[in-house]
Amino acid sequence: MSKDVSAFVHSLYKTNNFLPLHEPVFSGNEKKYVLETIDSTFVSSVGEFVDRFEKMFADYVGGKYAVATVNGTAALHVCLLMAEVVANDEVITQPLTFVATCNAISYCGAIPVFIDVDRDSMGLSADKLAEWLAANAEIRGNECFNRRTGRRIKACVPMHTFGHPARIEKIKTVCDQYGVVVVEDAAESLGSFVGDKHTGAFSELAAFSFNGNKTITTGGGGMLVTDNEALAKRAKHITTTAKLSHPYKYVHDEVAYNYRMPNLNAALGCAQMEQLDGFLAIKRSIAEQYKTFFESREESFVVERAGTKANYWLNAIVVNEAKRDEFIEQTNALGVMTRPIWGLMNRLPMFKACESGDLGNAEWLEARVVNLPSGVISPA
């Protein structure tokens, strides 16, 4: 099983070298733009490439405003602060996610509540969310509270897993009924759509990531996107240490964060955005070839669900649970990097005490899903 898969992946990428999951590609204006930042001496959080990158990104995802940050976790943290999440609030999310989702919640002093995912999208289940809220939530005034814990349920953070859009429209409808703010964790889903609407555009606040393994990269970086001008201005303020504008005085009006993206990183981002459509086309071609290969095999390839367009950031297959670990060990030994999906957040020591619903789908996926090399280097 693993030998056939490894041979196919090597032939797909036309190399016998070790294949990582997702290495960055710098084939455009990256060096030119970085050198321009060096020549300008504006290499930190002020510079023309920061503004340009924010504008390019907002335009692409259909948002009015974008605020660049040092990483996706920082972007999500600021989103939650803009959503007025405070200490002792509860924030609903999924257990099948990268730890940054829950870390950002914890930075606010808030407490994650774990709701199951759908098997096809691997993202938060709108139906399970509705069931849990119906059984546990009550409205007091204009706010939602957990009847059992007495804590306020302030926000919900669905994550678009590996670039496969969650059922975000239904999630938003359910949350609106309870006055729960939706913050999209779109870290992995640049280039993913529900219908003709980009992920991150379904809620007032969304966070994206540009880590070195993402579809486009700035080395490290993130982006907050919103249509709310006041929230965008405040986000920019608190990500730049809450410094008031003045020719030479250092005046800060609140405790804030040094979260702004440096101009050097934004220069990379601009060059990468110029190539995004090409990257996505290559990734879709690779995904289609994986899909065809796995159609006649016992492993199943995870495809975009009807009505959505996934970016196929990381291609995923479902492997027999009893064979999963052996498959991963053998493919890596054969020069093809594979890895299991994340362990569930509710199993981690810092989140073990958090409340959760039935997590049957998340547990099923945790035991079976494997990621395959998904880089944007053309196999042609």
Given a contact cutoff of 8 angstroms between Cβ atoms, the answer to whether 145 and 138 are in contact is: yes
pLDDT the model gives residue 378: 59
Please determine, for residue 172, whether its predicted confidence score (pLDDT) is greater than 50: yes
Q: Tell me, yes or no, whether 17 and 146 share the same domain.
A: no
Residue with tokens 């990097």: 337
Among 224, 251, 274, the domain boundary falls at 274
| DSSP structure string for 253-286 | -S---B-BPPHHHHHHHHHHHHTHHHHHHHHHHH
pLDDT the model gives residue 46: 80
pLDDT the model gives residue 72: 98
Q: Tell me, yes or no, whether 16 and 61 share the same domain.
A: no
Which domain range does residue 101 map to? 30-274
Number of structural domains (the chain) is 2
Q: Tell me, yes or no, whether 235 and 333 share the same domain.
A: no
CATH number at residue 86: 3.40.640.10
For the stretch 326-360, pLDDT in tens is: 999 999 999 999 999 999 999 999 999 999 999 99
Is 380 inside a domain boundary? no
Q: Tell me, yes or no, whether 213 and 296 share the same domain.
A: no
| DSSP structure string for 320-348 | -GGGHHHHHHHHHHTTB--EEPPPPGGGS
Is 378 inside a domain boundary? no
For the stretch 3-61, pLDDT in tens is: 999 999 999 999 999 999 999 999 999 999 999 999 998 888 788 999 999 999 999 99
pLDDT the model gives residue 293: 97
Given a contact cutoff of 8 angstroms between Cβ atoms, the answer to whether 122 and 303 are in contact is: no
Residue closest to 60 by CA, chosen among 240, 208, 221, 239 = 208
pLDDT the model gives residue 44: 83
Q: Tell me, yes or no, whether 282 and 261 share the same domain.
A: no
pLDDT the model gives residue 42: 86
Is 379 inside a domain boundary? no
Residue 298: Cβ within 10 Å count: 10
Note the Cα 198 to chain centre separation in Å. 13
Sheet arrangement for strand 300-301 = 300-301, 315-318, 369-372, 339-340
Q: Tell me, yes or no, whether 11 and 39 share the same domain.
A: no
Q: Tell me, yes or no, whether 123 and 247 share the same domain.
A: yes
Q: Where are the alpha helices (DSSP H) in the chain?
A: 2-12, 30-40, 48-61, 72-82, 99-107, 126-136, 168-178, 229-238, 263-274, 276-294, 324-333, 360-366
Q: What is the mean pLDDT of the chain?
A: 96
Please determine, for residue 380, whether its predicted confidence score (pLDDT) is greater than 70: no
Among 238, 259, 274, the domain boundary falls at 274
Among 245, 274, 303, the domain boundary falls at 274
Sort strands 193-194 and 197-198 into parallel, antiparallel or unpaired.
antiparallel
Given a contact cutoff of 8 angstroms between Cβ atoms, the answer to whether 207 and 186 are in contact is: yes
Please determine, for residue 379, whether its predicted confidence score (pLDDT) is greater than 80: no
